[in-house]
Structure 1
């Protein structure tokens, strides 16, 4: 069992998130602890918690959201989940707190969400500092033994392709904001990416994209960010959703902090990913075969072409270890230039329609500027654009520089 605890300042947002899951058929409310009346509206539930929280107005961080995640091998029905939730709350000192227990069905593994507060009926604040490292870990181990559950350490080793549980966003099929929010929350929580283009590479698999606006716009200058549903061609459709209005608040400021943390965290997966890609590359005679074999290994390569059909960029999405690397970050031999040379004959003979299929999740931005300020006309690139790799081999660039120096002399 894996337990995750998060705290916040708005109990309403936590409850609405779970209730939206219930409304869309992705969850159900299985237990209400500490409530005298059971048939309550969403507003009634929020007000019940707020009455308790108002007993201590000094404490601003007063909402607690806990998820208990089980292995697919664990046999846990609704009754067992209620018992486990009760034992867990008792173990962390929340046995007398009101709580709502939701069972979710939006992932491949069984899991529940617990909504509660750290303000007691006497108005005292229950300490949550290091709650996860101390009481939660101790309680988790006891529950695993008591109910014969797969241990958290083993569960973390069983990497699961995230593409299985997450449903792609389809405009008009479900409430847009809830659909986008669910996908963005899971991706930002589970994947290690170090830039907005890398995040968009992952989100694109689920028909969602993040967009900062044009460089000249006020939104871009003010570091604004919106999320949109993408159609099958990668174009944004429908009304975009502001990052600041979403439950998980995936704003640019928060993402930039994630970029820094992920840069270090993803290093542990680099060598494993390198080994898999090199092994596939050695046994591939064409780009199509290379990308196809990588997908079988749970790695989604995003290759980017110019209008002339020249490969100028590649990004590898590891959906097993849940990390993203640009080709150049893995080494010159896996960057666009090296792949272009290795499969050059295939590029000349390949059908342009097949190349379009490789990038159908990427978005069209005509005349979009890159981070370096270079204009790229009508390229198939991802949202705020990838930073294109120089298509000119290093050795040729050096020769050009020498020729220019001679002419100057």
Structure 2
């Protein structure tokens, strides 16, 4: 079992996050502690009011929301009644047994896991100390619970990489509700992947047939920091209705995405060298062609996204490492890993492709199948013309097309007030 504890400043936000998952059908509330009612009897207003009553007791405690995730190994079939016992036992061992808390079973990953929402404000208005709680209490509780409930042992923090936090399902148009498919991919990528730019964020999304679009730079949407998400078809073209980022629950809006860039820059550092080693080994072993290079890396869990300009010429490359969940621009890894150097070393590589001839394997054959040779983020496919038209500002006023305006001549004459100016 892997336990993760996060703190925040909005208990209402944590509840809304989990309740939105319930609405989408990817989570189920299974336990309510110290609420006076069973979980089935509780309405949203009851849940919010119970926590807000405590947080208002001490307005000086700003960080008063606690979000805990308990992840079980994918091989384990943990029943709901056992999850309830484990959650209650864990909370008691870390000092939250007398606090109100809600437990949700989430089903948006390939392993069983729970989300627990609570507050660190006691009924007497004192604060539960969260400093180093992971080392001092949570780690000890985790090990004891693993033994008592015969769970797969996490063997320390390194195990967290083995209990995979998410297995993102490809968004396939027509197979599931479009909005739900987009939401599942976006939420998982935001939570699990480490990207440092909008292009890198899109590279990760495209691996699962979703794309984020800000619109042309002169559009109202772009200038107001808006964004829409769409599903991609087998040819990498947008299909179906795009959805505004603000209509999706969670942190999918632009300023939330951009807020992760700087933080992820530090987080992904340790994974750069291992990725470079894999790329170099692949270049040495595989036949020197771009197609072989892409396919070989895909088998190792690494998607390759070539970026193209409006004329279809490749100008950049992005690597999406699904093993470490890190996204790297080729140039960030070094000159040898840039698109220019790579294409030069791959003898016999295919000629530069036109933007409408980008090769993408059939969707559905593999987890990373929609990530190859996508066109530049701000280039749109034929099916996007309506969306561009709706968001774009007119380039000029209609009268401007008739010819340049003639300059008005200044009228000569005396100024008012007797020719004096103030």
Query: Residue 35 of structure 1 corresponds to which residue in structure 2?
Result: 35
Contact 1:225 1:252 in 2 (8 A): yes
Query: Residue 94 of structure 2 corresponds to which residue in structure 1?
Result: 92
1:356 aligns with 2:359: yes
Question: SS of the residue aligned with 2:286?
Answer: coil
**1:325 to 1:94, Cα distance in 2 relative to 1, 3 A:** same
Contact 1:169 1:229 in 2 (8 A): no
State the Cα distance separating 1:298 from its structure 2 match: 0.2
Contact 2:58 2:121 in 1 (8 A): yes
- Which stretch has the larger CA shift, 202-211 or 48-57? 48-57
Contact 2:165 2:192 in 1 (8 A): no
- Which stretch has the larger CA shift, 121-130 or 332-341? 121-130
Separation of aligned partners in 2, 1:297 and 1:278:
13
Question: SS of the residue aligned with 1:347?
Answer: coil
**1:349 to 1:240, Cα distance in 2 relative to 1, 3 A:** closer
Query: Residue 13 of structure 1 corresponds to which residue in structure 2?
Result: 13
State the Cα distance separating 1:289 from its structure 2 match: 1.3
TM-score (norm 2): 0.74
Query: Residue 230 of structure 1 corresponds to which residue in structure 2?
Result: 231
Query: Residue 197 of structure 2 corresponds to which residue in structure 1?
Result: 195
Contact 2:313 2:352 in 1 (8 A): no
Mapping for residues 243-254 of structure 1, pairs under 5 Å: 248-250=250-252, 252-254=254-256
Separation of aligned partners in 2, 1:188 and 1:316:
17
Separation of aligned partners in 2, 1:349 and 1:235:
22
State the Cα distance separating 1:340 from its structure 2 match: 2.3
Separation of aligned partners in 2, 1:256 and 1:206:
20
Query: Residue 80 of structure 1 corresponds to which residue in structure 2?
Result: 82
Partner deviation per Cα, 1:194-241 (whole Å, 9 max, x = no partner): 21111111012233333444334565456x243412332343753543
Query: Quick one: which of 178, 184, 187 aligns to 1:185?
Result: 187
**1:341 to 1:262, Cα distance in 2 relative to 1, 3 A:** same
TM-score (norm 1): 0.76
State the Cα distance separating 1:114 from its structure 2 match: 0.9
Query: Residue 159 of structure 2 corresponds to which residue in structure 1?
Result: 155
Question: SS of the residue aligned with 1:124?
Answer: coil
Query: Residue 407 of structure 2 corresponds to which residue in structure 1?
Result: none
State the Cα distance separating 1:14 from its structure 2 match: 2.1
Question: SS of the residue aligned with 1:121?
Answer: coil
Q: CA RMSD in A?
A: 3.5
Partner deviation per Cα, 1:259-292 (whole Å, 9 max, x = no partner): 2232233221122112211222223332111111
Question: SS of the residue aligned with 2:350?
Answer: helix
Separation of aligned partners in 1, 2:6 and 2:290:
44
Between the two proteins, the alignment pairs up a number of residues equal to 367
Contact 2:35 2:100 in 1 (8 A): yes
Mapping for residues 1-150 of structure 1, pairs under 5 Å: 1-38=1-38, 39-149=41-151, 150=153
**1:279 to 1:106, Cα distance in 2 relative to 1, 3 A:** same
Question: SS of the residue aligned with 1:209?
Answer: strand
Q: Which runs of 5+ in 2 are unaligned?
A: 362-368, 385-422
State the Cα distance separating 1:67 from its structure 2 match: 0.8
State the Cα distance separating 1:178 from its structure 2 match: 5.8
**1:234 to 1:47, Cα distance in 2 relative to 1, 3 A:** farther
Partner deviation per Cα, 1:25-56 (whole Å, 9 max, x = no partner): 32222222122222222333323333343444
Question: SS of the residue aligned with 1:184?
Answer: helix
Question: SS of the residue aligned with 1:126?
Answer: coil
Separation of aligned partners in 2, 1:85 and 1:217:
49
Separation of aligned partners in 1, 2:378 and 2:202:
18
Contact 1:328 1:334 in 2 (8 A): yes
Separation of aligned partners in 2, 1:182 and 1:360:
16
Partner deviation per Cα, 1:95-150 (whole Å, 9 max, x = no partner): 01122211112111211111222233334333334333432233223323333431
Q: Please identify the structure whose Cα radius of gyration is greater.
A: 2
Separation of aligned partners in 1, 2:126 and 2:49:
19
Query: Residue 271 of structure 1 corresponds to which residue in structure 2?
Result: 273
- Which stretch has the larger CA shift, 355-364 or 268-277? 355-364
Question: SS of the residue aligned with 2:127?
Answer: coil
**1:129 to 1:179, Cα distance in 2 relative to 1, 3 A:** farther
